Structure 1
């Protein structure tokens, strides 16, 4: 009997590759989100440290005020970008889950087909053994 070959093997391989690509995209988005959060933390720390300046002159206070306003603007911008990225990460996670489901469906089908194949092989072997047993009875 010929060797087992899953009839949808090419599709299963495609789905595995597709799942890997989606996972890589998801990982990249998560990394980008982590970078944004780190940047926001860095700016917040910088803002906090800016408040702890010992030398206070009018000129220095004006520069400091403008810089604080700019830091607040940058922090707000990064928060907005982070929220958008968070939504994209959640959508990418849903895509990963869907791709995994699609792959698992085919893997279960492959497993079932393989079990059927093994049963057929066993049945064929038993049939051949029965034929050999019958031949030896009639040979004498």
Structure 2
């Protein structure tokens, strides 16, 4: 009887799968950071447009609006830089994810190859057994007919 299939690199395959899961999580977090930067930019742009809709005749209020607009512009510039950095982080995380997927796939292909070899050996062993049983039955019938 053949022994149960055992893949010698099963722990490596499991490790590679865990690495891929970690890379997927890092990629998702990087994408979420870009989305947050986009939302913050949208909110600032909405505030900026709201200021233009409010008309004031007070010099002090106009000066405060101007300072606030300058502050919003500075924040938008900072957010733009942050978004570009976050987009780079997304690209890096995507590359790491691709690499971990490729590493996992290499081990999975090896697993599939070894399992196919195992199945072929099981079939070959079964066929030898069946051939032997058939030969013994044939010989018994031949000896019994004399």
Partner of 1:15: 16
Distance across 2 between alignment mates of 1:7 and 1:80: 48
Question: Counterparts of 1:17 and 1:84 in 2: how far apart (Å)?
Answer: 27
Give, in angstroms, the shift of residue 59 of structure 1: 0.4
Describe the SS at the equivalent of 1:73.
Answer: helix
Over residues 34-66 of structure 1, what are the superposed CA-to-partner deviations in whole Å (9 max), with x where a residue is unaligned?
001100111011111101112221101110111
- Counterpart for residue 117 of structure 1: 118
For residue 55 of structure 1, give the secondary structure of its aligned residue in structure 2.
Answer: coil
Provide the alpha-carbon RMSD of the alignment: 1.0
Give the whole-Å Cα distance in 2 for the aligned partners of 1:128 and 1:76.
77
Secondary structure of residue in 2 paired with 1:51: helix
Question: Which residue is equivalent to 2:41?
Answer: 40
Map 1:43-122 to 2 at 5 A: 43-122=44-123
TM-score by length of 2: 0.92
- Indicate the larger mover: 18-27 or 48-57: 48-57
Q: For structure 1, which segment, 127-136 or 111-120, has the greater mean C-alpha deviation from structure 2 after superposition? A: 127-136
Distance 1:16 1:56 in 2: 65
Offset at residue 137 of structure 1 (A): 3.2
Distance 2:114 2:41 in 1: 53
Q: Which runs of 5+ in 2 are unaligned?
A: none
Contact 2:23 2:96 in 1 (8 A): yes
1:130 CA displacement: 1.5
Aligned equivalents of 2:70, 2:89: Cα separation in 1? 29
Normalising by structure 1, what TM-score?
0.96
Unaligned runs of 5+ in 1: none
